[in-house]
Chain A
Amino acid sequence: MPSFRGVDYLNIDLMLSEEELLVRQTARQFVDEEVAPVIKDCFNEGRFPSQLIRKMGELGFLGANLTGYGCAELSNVEYGLVMQEIERGDSGLRSFASVQGALVMYPIHTFGTDAQKEKWLPRLQSGDAVGCFGLTEPGFGSNPGGMTTTAKQDGAGWVLNGEKTWITNGTAADVAVVWARTDEGIRGFLVEKGMAGYTTSDIHGKLSMRASVTSSLMFSDCRIPGENVLPGAKGLKAALMCLSQARYGIGWGVVGAAMDCYEAARQYTIERKQFDNKPIASHQLVQAKLAWMVSEITKAQLLAMQCGRLKDMGKLEAAHISMLKGNNTAMALDVARTARDLLGANGITDDYPMMRHMANLESVKTYEGTDHIHTLVIGERVTGIPAYK
């Protein structure tokens, strides 16, 4: 399989340092060599490529922008480039890395005790342990503040009751970061696999994110020790801080999925001949679609780059991330559809990546903040008026 050469219409690579390019090269090579050969079968069979977890840990992809505990200590632009390459492989694999790094390692790193960090971060970094993040409930998605899962203090420990759903990595996880309502408001807890009263089950019948594990978590008088509460994770704000980390990575990741679709369509239209044995790329309507796709990808790259530089300066705000995640995901989905159009019937088969990316991106569009919610975040930012209710 030929290696991916990237999409760089505007010489954006000139904005990247030698080190940033080298980071991307490692992620790109990993996707070409380890992900591309297996991902079609994984998606078709509804199977997560769990054999890649330790390799991703070894290469430094898990919790890559965190410091210490064996983490790679990447800048946020470098982290974004890694997410971009992984999602060029598949959104499911990127989701795994996002959850592990941004939704499990980040809260333990930010809100945890030293003992919690020592216990979990090195194992999560290496891929010896897997984590998941339990916020969404059957009745509370866009409005997590309404959650009904409760945690009641009982002696030194806590007792959890409730249900979480749409949880990436749920059944595979050794540790779950779970958010529950307490007498003092919402707090974060570490629930470990095998704890009494904690059960998990997978959600079946997904036509999207098929190479990813998606589960429900059930807590029935689940008793956890006092040392498993995340002391700094108080209030919904703490959970939203985690989501901001993950959404930032998504904003980069989806650009990779779009690049894969665009590049497959570009090559196809140059090779595919119709009408007097001419490549279909010689037709103006086809060129219009290619030009539109590469323009949108380029704008999305610049948006991601600016957000990355702002994040490295400590100046990236949640409202910026909403624009990044909302715009780039919508762009990627439109590019996947447009790229599929150009392949005609061939585009609907699994010989090409468009349908897989397109189906995945339908999930990405509404998870981690729906397109509606991100639009309302931007709307509130420019008017000063919240319009969520």
Chain B
Amino acid sequence: MKILVAVKQVASRDSALKPAADGRWIDESDLTYEINEPDAYALESGLQLKEQHGGEVVVVAAGPARVSSSIREALAKGADRAIHIEQDGLDAWDSLSLARLLAAAARSESPDVVLTGLQSDDAGRGETGVMMAELLGMAHATIAMKIDVEGGVLKVKRELEGGWFQDLNLPMPALLAVQSGINKLRYATLMGIKKARTKEVKVMTAADLGVEAAPLAILERLALPVKKKQGEMIEGTPKEQAARLIEKLRFEARAI
């Protein structure tokens, strides 16, 4: 079974974020990066599927040169090889344009299963995986909680609202967008880190994939909400003013 896992590199949790000078994305000068958390669970799911059913795990990640550290981590955890679509400025791209890049790389691999995280911890749009599935003409399911393969069919448990679950059977190939926390993430062992050095990372450009390196829509400006200080004069007799103030403190400010 060939399993392809799409991984995004995002700013580390608890990073202090501020908009970049050009306003297009966040200031990256002092940031450290990590594998997007839901993608880490997708990778773990892929590695477990390989352990149960055999085959190969191929990681695909798109982004600038720094993304190689997340690719190395995925290889150290046990992925067999990787494709790095090297492209700057993707954080300002629309999801469909990104999905086109990822889908083109996926198509060249003809995987049986494509796994992605449910959403990214930065933009949080949760649509790139689904768009990839449409572009690849694959069945897909989101919020996957449990993934099994039986008789060439993917058996997937999905999380619904209100404590409900849905069991689905999907034909392969299919794409699954994986929920965080569904398994226990493994460590990259020190032996695994050394072994990763010998694994293949194919660096490709949009042109190599036959996709135009231009987004359909671009994020023009990103800014922090402007804090406004607003005073309000309360009219009326002292008694009316006091009553009005108490009402505002209780129901608007929720201070009492």
B68: CB under 8 A from chain A?
yes
Query: Is the beta-carbon distance between B189 and A22 smaller than 8 angstroms?
Result: no
Query: Is the beta-carbon distance between B188 and A25 smaller than 8 angstroms?
Result: yes
Other-chain residue from B13, B68, B189 in contact with A26 (beta carbon distance below 8 A): B189
How close is A215's CB to chain B, nearest CB, in angstroms?
Answer: 29
Which size bracket describes the interface of A in this complex? 20 to 34
A18-B68, A18-B69, A22-B73 are known contacts. Are A61 and B190 too (CB-CB below 8 A)? yes
B252: CB under 8 A from chain A?
no
A108: CB under 8 A from chain B?
no
Query: Is the beta-carbon distance between A26 and B193 smaller than 8 angstroms?
Result: yes
Query: Is the beta-carbon distance between B68 and A59 smaller than 8 angstroms?
Result: no
Query: Is the beta-carbon distance between A26 and B187 smaller than 8 angstroms?
Result: yes
Chain A contacts for B194, CB-based, 8 A: 19, 72-74
A111: CB under 8 A from chain B?
no
A30: CB under 8 A from chain B?
yes
B76: CB under 8 A from chain A?
yes
- Report the nearest A residue to B68, measured CB to CB: A18
Q: Which of A13-50 contact B (CB under 8 A)?
A: 18-19, 21-23, 25-26, 29-30
Chain B contacts for A22, CB-based, 8 A: 69, 72-73, 76, 188, 193
Docked complex Cα distance between A3 and B186 (Å): 16
A82: CB under 8 A from chain B?
yes
Other-chain residue from A5, A29, A82 in contact with B187 (beta carbon distance below 8 A): A29
A2-B14, A5-B14 are known contacts. Are A19 and B193 too (CB-CB below 8 A)? yes
- Report the nearest A residue to B194, measured CB to CB: A73
Identify the interface centre among A29, A30, A60, A70: most chain B CB within 10 Å of its CB. Answer: A60
B226: CB under 8 A from chain A?
no
B191: CB under 8 A from chain A?
yes
Docked complex Cα distance between A18 and B197 (Å): 11
Docked complex Cα distance between A106 and B157 (Å): 50
Chain B contacts for A29, CB-based, 8 A: 187
Query: Is the beta-carbon distance between B69 and A59 smaller than 8 angstroms?
Result: no
How close is A244's CB to chain B, nearest CB, in angstroms?
Answer: 22
Query: Is the beta-carbon distance between B14 and A26 smaller than 8 angstroms?
Result: no
Query: Is the beta-carbon distance between B197 and A74 smaller than 8 angstroms?
Result: no
- Report the nearest A residue to B72, measured CB to CB: A18
How close is A11's CB to chain B, nearest CB, in angstroms?
Answer: 9
- Report the nearest B residue to A70, measured CB to CB: B191
- Report the nearest B residue to A65, measured CB to CB: B190
Query: Is the beta-carbon distance between B190 and A26 smaller than 8 angstroms?
Result: yes
Identify the interface centre among B73, B76, B191: most chain A CB within 10 Å of its CB. Answer: B191
A58: CB under 8 A from chain B?
yes
Other-chain residue from B14, B68, B69, B191 in contact with A60 (beta carbon distance below 8 A): B191
Q: Chain B interface (Cβ within 8 Å of chain A)?
A: 13-14, 68-69, 72-73, 76, 187-191, 193-194, 196-197
Q: Chain A interface (Cβ within 8 Å of chain B)?
A: 2-3, 5, 18-19, 21-23, 25-26, 29-30, 58-61, 64, 70, 72-74, 78, 82
9 closest residue pairs by CB, A with B: A60-B190, A72-B190, A18-B69, A60-B191, A59-B189, A60-B189, A72-B191, A22-B193, A26-B188
With A3-B13, A22-B193 known, 6 other A-B pairs at CB within 8 A are A18-B68, A19-B196, A23-B190, A23-B193, A29-B187, A59-B187
Q: List 12 A-B contacts (CB under 8 A).
A: A5-B14, A19-B72, A19-B196, A22-B69, A22-B76, A22-B188, A22-B193, A26-B187, A26-B193, A30-B187, A59-B189, A73-B191
